[in-house]
Chain A
Amino acid sequence: MDANDSPPARLGRFVEPFASVAEVAASDGEPHWMLGIRKAGLARFAEQGLPTLRHEDWRFTNLAPIEALPFRPLPRPQARAVSVADLDRLSLAGMSGLRLVFVDGHFAPELSRIEAVEDKVQVRGLSQTLRADGAWLEQQLACWHEGQDRAFRALNDAYCTDGIVLHVSAGVAVAEPIHALFLSSGIEPGLASHPRNVLVAEANSRVMVIEQYASLGGAATFTNTLTQLVVGEGAQVEHVRFQDEGPEAFHMGALRAVVAGSAQLAAHSFALGARLSRQNIGLTLAGPGLEAILNGLYVTTEKRLADHHMVVDHAQPHCASHEYFNGILSGQSRGVFHGRILVRPDAQKTDAKQTNKNLLLSNSASVNTKPQLEIYADDVKCSHGATIGQLNPESVFYLRTRGLPVETARRMLIHAFAGEIIDRVQCGPVRQALDRLVWDRLERDAQVRLDAAAPHS
């Protein structure tokens, strides 16, 4: 951070484009109340600015590079930035079912497939919903409090242009996964997109949503996405956030979920790309007897950083929450994990478990992990664990005694380590696609292939 830069001057570039974004949004027929949300967001952001390393939640994640970046939100979509052929090159391209494509934060209907929407299910872009069903959306947007993603939430409030809005009515089971693809054109540095997703699954419904983030060009873009998820009573929701942006991209992602009683939520996060990525996950367990799984895998190379922060708030009795996060780190990359399980006084019979395992493949990779428990109820079962280390030499040795070359042995163990997480994705086709992708990605990494010297061979 530049010491001479006073805070308002530093923040100026985040404030300047606001007038044009707000003006364009209003001229496109956005309801008036949305301008209020935007202005309030901008004011909150201007007040606090980006968090610094002094902030406990951001101790290990330096946001200075984002601050140094130009900040260019696009009020309107760029003409012909992306073609259908571009999409075919991406992973998960072969998936059938509904697909919504957003380019630099704007819905691209010509690339999307939303014809076959089932009855009682609404899938639309945010900007369209704002015009068509504003009252409902206003209600949805109003009911969220701020979490640890404060600054980015505020920025998203101010600048969000589009995103997926999903409303599944009570008792409806959506057969195929709904795929939302967020692309950065990556043409010029500083292009900023602020997707805002609103997902509502009413009581006893069932749905799976995949949010995929990818880049086409290599410029240093900035994505600041926020998903609000409401899981109704007895509903079953699976949510995948698959972040695979370009090696220079900055990705700030938030998932804020409120889960009602007896529901089941599985939220997966796969962080494979971006120079710096952060997932803020806030989960409020608002009804008794529900089950929630947070599951994540981060694979980092070179000088990248992947950060996962989550707060699971057990507010009701008889809930189970399990968090599993594995990281595979090579090069000079860094992994950051912060998990906090909060068990409130009334949340008796809570079953909460949190694990964070890290595999270091190089000498200069590093990990900072903080698995935390905060417990105010006595009749609970809570545990957490964290491990950091290399591949277990004994496991490698065992496989070698069975006749496997050291390279194969290592590869098997690393794949198994990633597989633990991937296996928890319930939807078959998605699981297989991710599995292939992660394996390909690992195979490309020299430190997995063991071109580097093996410390225990």
Chain B
Amino acid sequence: MSTPQSTIDQFVQSDYKYGFVSDIETEALPPGLDEEIIRAISAKKREPEFLLQWRLRSYRHWLTMTEPSWPKATYPPIDYQKIIYYAAPKPKAQLNSLDEVDPELRRTFDKLGISLDEQKRLTGVAVDAVMDSVSVATTFRKELAKQGIVFCSFSEAVREHPDLIEKYLGTVVPYTDNFFAALNSAVFSDGSFCYVPKGVRCPMELSTYFRINTANTGQFERTLLVADEGSYVSYLEGCSAPMRDENQLHAAVVELIALGSAEIKYSTVQNWYPGDKDGKGGIYNFVTKRGLCRGRGSKISWTQVETGSAITWKYPGCVLLGDDSVGEFYSVALTNHRQQADTGTKMIHVGKNTRSTIVSKGISAGRGQNSYRGLVQMRPTATGARNFSQCDSLLIGDQCGAHTFPYIEVKNPTAQIEHEASTSKIGEDQIFYCNQRGLSKQDAVNLIVNGFCKEVFRELPMEFAVEAQKLLGVSLEGSVG
């Protein structure tokens, strides 16, 4: 046992490469939460009355709720009155082109590898960058507008397309949904909005980059994506935050709506600051993500790579309402040091012949605790529905934990459900085999882990797949001696 033990004991922390703080002047509201703060946020964003009322309803509902205690994560109680609910980079004048973006801000995004104009020129990915709470720049809007695609920050959408917002906001994740969704609905400051019109295939990947910069702030963004009949869109989301000793809260809401035959592919590479090796600091990532396959033959596919955050609590789900609609969930969640992840999905089958696939790969290392928690529900109307779930866990070291909590509820006999789960570790023999072939131990671990995650990485868009593999490599750096 000595070799693997010493190997694993040397699981040293790799540096979090995105942990810098940008020196950007911000304008922030005082910490704390009451109706005044919500009115102030709404006024700052010059929102229409319906939205303010919605926020206030959400807030009043939130007051009646209690923080959930069922996730398999332990953390000190959050003081919601100490959080700054609104912080925005200054100046916040209307931007007409990228050149007007604060140079310091652009340097921030350059450091993150999201050089706004690089991206624009080379990769053809349209990016909406959100710093702290406010969307700072959106690229490629004109090109997209030619096809009728609306891709902008949420606040712009509120101003320019209030009808769409009023029609769809909260239809997938109502503010009554859960504690953090209610909080988000009350205080969300910005986010991304996208509408793809009928029959349009979005010509490029859309992307949002989230960054928490200011200390003591929470980030509460809201993403709303509507794919009209027969359209297709692929959407990427990335995130990072500076290294700080205190925990910061990120409570986002993402709503996807796919109408008849539309397809939405939503990919996330989540790399919030995970805290140091003793579990100090890090982001609490408490996110509600849900997609609604409203029309016949629609499809929503979630792919996520979760390597960051001190605590991850998220269950991207699909409500398969339309007949023949399809939901997919591919996930890699890595917990190292003292990270805790409680993540999974919900597949609610309502329509006939709906299908869902769940592939979840959990990797636990150090003292990380990784839980898969998923719900597959077959309603009485879901005749001929099918689900396949597979949850695999990989344990590296003997102090981590891997847990599986599947919930399966079936009310239709023609539905077919299969659930499989397994747990394994990286075998000494596997590493030995790789060593024989001239690979170092670290390379062997990376190789094995990447192989373990292959089914998920395959689902990621190309640029992200490369990033995800690198990220996993970095996160596992030093895991073996």
Q: Whole-angstrom distance between the alpha carbons of A455 and B413 in the complex? A: 10
Known: A360-B413, A363-B412, A378-B396. 6 other contacts (CB 8 A): A361-B413, A367-B408, A370-B406, A373-B403, A381-B424, A388-B417
B404–A384 CB distance below 8 A: yes
| B435, CB-defined interface residue at 8 Å | no
15 A-B pairs, CB-CB below 8 angstroms? A56-B70, A345-B398, A360-B412, A360-B413, A363-B413, A367-B410, A372-B404, A381-B424, A383-B421, A384-B421, A385-B418, A387-B416, A388-B416, A388-B417, A389-B416
| A382, CB-defined interface residue at 8 Å | yes
Q: Whole-angstrom distance between the alpha carbons of A404 and B65 in the complex? A: 59
Given contacts A383-B421, A388-B417, A389-B417, contact A377 B409 (CB under 8 A): no
The chain A residue with its CB closest to the CB of B395 is A378
For B423, list chain A residues within 8 Å (CB): 373, 375, 380-383
Given contacts A390-B414, A455-B414, contact A379 B408 (CB under 8 A): no
Q: Whole-angstrom distance between the alpha carbons of A362 and B380 in the complex? A: 11
Q: Name the interface size band of chain B.
A: 35 or more
Interface residues of chain A, those whose CB is within 8 Å of chain B, are 56, 60, 345, 348, 358, 360-390, 455
For B419, list chain A residues within 8 Å (CB): 371, 384-387
Q: How far is the CB of B263 from chain A (nearest CB, A)?
A: 27
A358–B410 CB distance below 8 A: yes
For A373, list chain B residues within 8 Å (CB): 393, 402-404, 421, 423
A377–B413 CB distance below 8 A: no
The chain B residue with its CB closest to the CB of A361 is B413
Query: Which secondary structure dominates where chain B touches chain A?
Result: strand
For B380, list chain A residues within 8 Å (CB): 363-364
| B411, CB-defined interface residue at 8 Å | yes
Query: Which secondary structure dominates where chain A touches chain B?
Result: strand
**Complex A-B, nearest 8 residue pairs according to Cβ-Cβ distance, in ascending order:** A360-B413, A378-B395, A366-B411, A389-B416, A373-B404, A382-B423, A386-B419, A376-B401
| B400, CB-defined interface residue at 8 Å | yes
Q: Whole-angstrom distance between the alpha carbons of A383 and B412 in the complex? A: 26
For A369, list chain B residues within 8 Å (CB): 406-409
| B399, CB-defined interface residue at 8 Å | yes
| B420, CB-defined interface residue at 8 Å | yes
Q: How far is the CB of B364 from chain A (nearest CB, A)?
A: 8
| B397, CB-defined interface residue at 8 Å | yes
B413–A365 CB distance below 8 A: yes
Q: Whole-angstrom distance between the alpha carbons of A374 and B421 in the complex? A: 12
Given contacts A56-B70, A376-B401, contact A385 B421 (CB under 8 A): yes
For A387, list chain B residues within 8 Å (CB): 416-419
| B425, CB-defined interface residue at 8 Å | yes
| B415, CB-defined interface residue at 8 Å | yes
Q: Whole-angstrom distance between the alpha carbons of A174 and B416 in the complex? A: 45
CB-contact partner of B408 in A56, A348, A365, A386, under 8 A = A386
Q: Whole-angstrom distance between the alpha carbons of A363 and B411 in the complex? A: 8
For A370, list chain B residues within 8 Å (CB): 405-408
The chain A residue with its CB closest to the CB of B401 is A376
Q: How far is the CB of A329 from chain B (nearest CB, A)?
A: 8
Q: How far is the CB of B42 from chain A (nearest CB, A)?
A: 35
For B399, list chain A residues within 8 Å (CB): 345
Given contacts A377-B398, A379-B425, A381-B424, contact A386 B406 (CB under 8 A): yes
For A376, list chain B residues within 8 Å (CB): 400-401
Given contacts A374-B401, A387-B417, A388-B416, contact A382 B422 (CB under 8 A): yes
Q: How far is the CB of B369 from chain A (nearest CB, A)?
A: 9
